[in-house]
Amino acid sequence: MSNPYIPFASKILDVKKHTQKEYTFRMEYHGEVKPGQFFEVSVPKFGEAPISVSGIGDGYVELTIRRVGRVTNEVFENYVGDSLLMRGPYGNGFDISIFDHGETLVVAGGTGVSPVRGVIEALAASPAAKDTHVIVGFRSPADMLFRSDLEEWKDKLDLVLTVDGAPEGYAGNIGLVTKYIPQIQLRDVSAAKAIVVGPPPMMRFSIMGFLDMGFREENIWVSNERKMCCGLGKCGHCRIGDKYVCLDGPVFNYTESKNLID
């Protein structure tokens, strides 16, 4: 009988700094993993935190970590050559085969970009790239994550990058993601698929925007963030109704998630 709570040590292969408080850690990992899944990352003596996979490659996964809590603050004290303890991956993740044909609109805000980054990359590399629309929002220009990815995506798919607010003289888009949703040009919205990940109010209003445009409920997917201690369906923290976000999610079809009342 193996103990699923015992973490393994994973070497930090690279650290990319996006902002003062958001870094991407490239961690050694060999095994199956899907975008939208998460690992429980721990620093002994400080605890564990669920972190979504923001990138997947041969022999590694990337975790984009925001310095906001007790555990994540401590993670920032670790650098290349050190290791972190991890267990996972947990959760269902995104099924790319649903999105790699036809039109797709991906809306992501802030660190919500992490769980969909793998989806966007897969779509950008597929024939569906020309039918892929991405709206990414950050609080301000200084809060932008994945700048080099954004540059690359711009050339491959229809990308709208926006910030909630910016200092005077900023040349890019300003406004909430919901401002840009109705402007996306789709050939057949009734068959198009949408993904939204971000803070709860952003997800709520984005979904209202999708429905107003004519997206079907069953073509909308969300990824939920919740407190998770175990990732195994035991601790209870992530339960909503009869669903466990760690087991049944974090990715939910809207027809399911609309009935999940916190």
Partner 1 sequence: MGFVFSRDGFAEVIRQLGSRYRIYAPVLKKGEGRFTDTDVVRYDYVKNFDEIELEKRSDYSFKEILLPVSGTLFYFTEDKVTEPEMDDREILVFVRSCDLHAVKRFDQIYLHNGQERDWFYERVRDRLKFVLIGCRESFDDCFCVDMHTNESTDGYVFSVEEADGEIYSDLKEEGLRELFSGNSVREEDKAPAHVETNKIFVSVPDEVPVSICKDKVWDEYDSRCIGCGRCTLVCPTCTCFTMEDIYYSDNGKVGERRRVHASCMIDGYSNVAGGGEYRKKHGERMRFKVLHKISDFKKKFGYQMCVGCGRCDMVCPEYISFSECINKVDRAIRSAEDGKEAQA
Annotated binding site for [2Fe-2S] cluster: 230, 235, 238, 246
Q: Cβ neighbours of residue 236 under 8 Å, at least 6 residues apart?
A: none
Nearest Cα residue to 210 out of 112, 138, 133:
133
Q: What are the Cα distances from residue 11, in Å, to 14, 23, 36, 65, 238?
A: 9, 16, 21, 16, 28
Which residues, other chains included, contact 135 with Cβ-Cβ below 8 Å and sequence gap of 6+?
A: 105, 106, 107, 108, 159, 160, 162, 177, 180, 181, 184
CA-based nearest residue to 81, from 18, 39, 25: 25
Whose Cβ is closer to partner 1: residue 6's or residue 171's?
6
Q: How far is the CB of 25 from partner 1 (least distance, A)?
A: 15
Least Å distance between CB 220 and partner 1? Answer: 18
Q: Residue 244 CB, nearest distance to partner 1 (Å)?
A: 7
Residues at the interface with partner 1 (CB under 8 A): 1-7, 9, 42, 44-49, 66, 68-69, 71-72, 199-200, 225-227, 229-230, 232-237, 239, 241-242, 244, 246-247, 259, 261-262
Residue closer to partner 1, measured from CB, 119 or 246? 246
Q: Which is nearer to partner 1, 59 or 200 (CB)?
A: 200
Give least dist CB 204 to partner 1, A: 13
Nearer to partner 1, 122 or 228 (CB): 228
Residues 6+ apart with CB under 8 A from 136: 107, 108, 109, 113, 150, 159, 160, 161, 162, 177
Binding site residues, as ranges?
Answer: 230, 235, 238, 246
3-class secondary structure, 73: helix
Taking the least distance from each CB to partner 1, the nearer of 130 and 227 is 227
User: What is the nearest approach in angstroms of partner 1 to the Cβ of residue 28?
Assistant: 16
